[in-house]
Structure 1
């Protein structure tokens, strides 16, 4: 490869791998017509191709979807380059491996990176960096074809920097472009920080968590157990857990969210339906607050109209409605909902409706409590969250992710989990799926010394405790049987009476009443609201 005169010395500057070392891994085979960087095939193409591709994506899918797509592609490229450096130079100093991303950016021809500051501490997981990008290919091509931009345009480069740093540090790092040459600045200026440093409510952080990381974050990061001294933020632990729960249906979730047709979200208790619904809502309405669930029990036509009306949403943001117990809608509400779904031919302006059910799609279609046409309209796009019994191979990864979430809930340091414990968890009967898994892990966390790992024995004891908690009192069983023998028995009314009786005995103290029912205060407060008690 020809080097411009007087620039040969630049090939050996900086940490390892130097530009020269990286170039030695770039091999062209004229016989096969193959260009490789290490074991990865590369393609040499005009930058105008990327400019035209970007234009076509924006034209076909809109600015937001194009932005996310190019960020994703860049993120994945950054992750793959970080892996390449770690595999090719296994004994490399961590600092050099981290900064190698800037040199790979340069050798690939997409930009020349100048460091303003780059401060990192791998042991503490801290990072703060600011860089200048000279001659960014994305910025130069945009300005060449379209003139000055009104916003930063280096979308795939931002994704690349975030992906490389995220893989290298083992936690989500988000870069932002605060100056861009396409906007008329002298160069592009980017700043990178951990997600928690930007804040969990930051729109870019939310976009990464909801739309970029769930699909492309590597298993190495997603399922990595956090050591007790690393103290991860709740957002990091929750993101890993959500990713593990949704992995079987992520493609369906994304397709349904973008199709904007009503979604029937099906699955047994504890299978992760609410996590899936939250992910769908965040894709359909990025940056919006998570809407509350509405029950079909006692819902009035006026209440349903308010749920389906988009008038309260911001301009350009699609409203999202979450509905459960739809089979308990009265006849008037069913007719109203059916007419609403039939009349909105323009799905881009229609409320995105997510319906939650424990019935399988086939059972839902045969439920005679619902109008036949309404059943079909709500079953166009079913998404089924599988029970853990059908995901035995996923249980170890789920347990590792959930253990961190449980530790934070209990305000305990996260314990390491022995492989034998993971095998034991995968063999357990988990009747309420993730809820049972969480109960077992919580009992194990509380029983094991902070200095010890959770082993198979601890899991076995924790499972026994959870099983005892699930034991049905024979007296309660006889009362339940007697109640069911009575004609006209209504479970909702029975529950309401139980809640009111517990409150009465606790002198209206919700926390005390919740304790007598084996619930948390928040759980009882929610049930009181939904039961109208």
Structure 2
């Protein structure tokens, strides 16, 4: 999950039983700025400026801690930095302020942070200006500084303090702030730390920090299971919506192949978008304005496929009442997309090979050949190389088709694409739909999607129909998706194996996930292929 994928309308929701507004599982209270202004005035009158600032900062600090942990419970962020960036996305939805011009220097491994930025429309600065009139001699955004301090503390794992450098309440154009770990404030650290260091706050802060440490340990265990990928924003090129580097590589290769006339073979599981890639190649080529003719070789009876591809003359068989051009000729100077090419019979394979080699076809019942000018893109959801080894597909045709091969990875191997694809499909159905709840987002990203993108699209449409304009909840998902997936830990360690045996089982599980691809399995595990081989072949301890 990237910070930019957060949508406040999906995070804030209403409890169906009570009608209460919720942030994740936390109940929210709605109040107005004038009420908070009176509350702040009363605090300053009763407790004084210094103590009231402490209380307001404490209020913000606790809120920030809770908000960070609630977000972590709702979503699996791709990295701690994305978790950190989520605050900027969330802030305007709280009504507190708008953040801009952020500069981030963050090293989660060494627990270092320097975060600077600007707050515009801070509610605390506006309250001061509206109800006080004059300029303040000190910054007044105590709640906002506390919220950011608590939020960043949860992520960094040690105390972070936000210092408001200048404030609009002092007469500046906007509020500026800087966040650093507590010990990095050098000039007067005790003074800066003071708002969070009152004796009567210590016990409660220590309790919160203990809970935070426990929650962070759980999150770190989750992070160890996630592959940290540097991902960019989603892209939509001729209908291909993606963010993952795996799909980015496919699109890059397709763009390289597009200007040529070479035959392309697109392979991948059913529903991965092979025809979409073929159309992308066609549109990006010089043939983009010519016809794109698609044929599913598995959907046409074997007795008719030869006539569909190569054409026939009148009277060449019983129902041939007129001459007919084959699709290879009908495509003209465009592109013909032959899907499920692995379903072709051996006799048709031989004729297709000749057509590719000679760039001409002979219609059924005819004596003369007809030239073909179309580019051919073939696709298969079977492993054609394996079919060649089994004698089910001609080797010479395989090499003729796979001049430029493309292998589209299944959706479960490019999980960065799941959410943006789901939102893309939902926006096509209803651009103003409120979206998915965090629970549904987590389930979609954890689900293995055996039907790939086609299954995802059908799932979104099914849920949309049931949701009736409310956010999509777990109850709206198809039964196959709504069921809780099996716990992999129970599968791997239910009988309490030795550490050596547990590693071997996990290695086998990853290898199964990559469908036997040892290089990819080793990369996912962060080890060399040699180490993976050792894991797979080591004997269990006795």
Q: In which range does the TM-score fall when normalised by the shorter chain?
A: 0.3 to 0.5
Could you tell me the TM-score, scaled by structure 2's length? 0.37
Question: Which protein shows a greater Rg?
Answer: 2
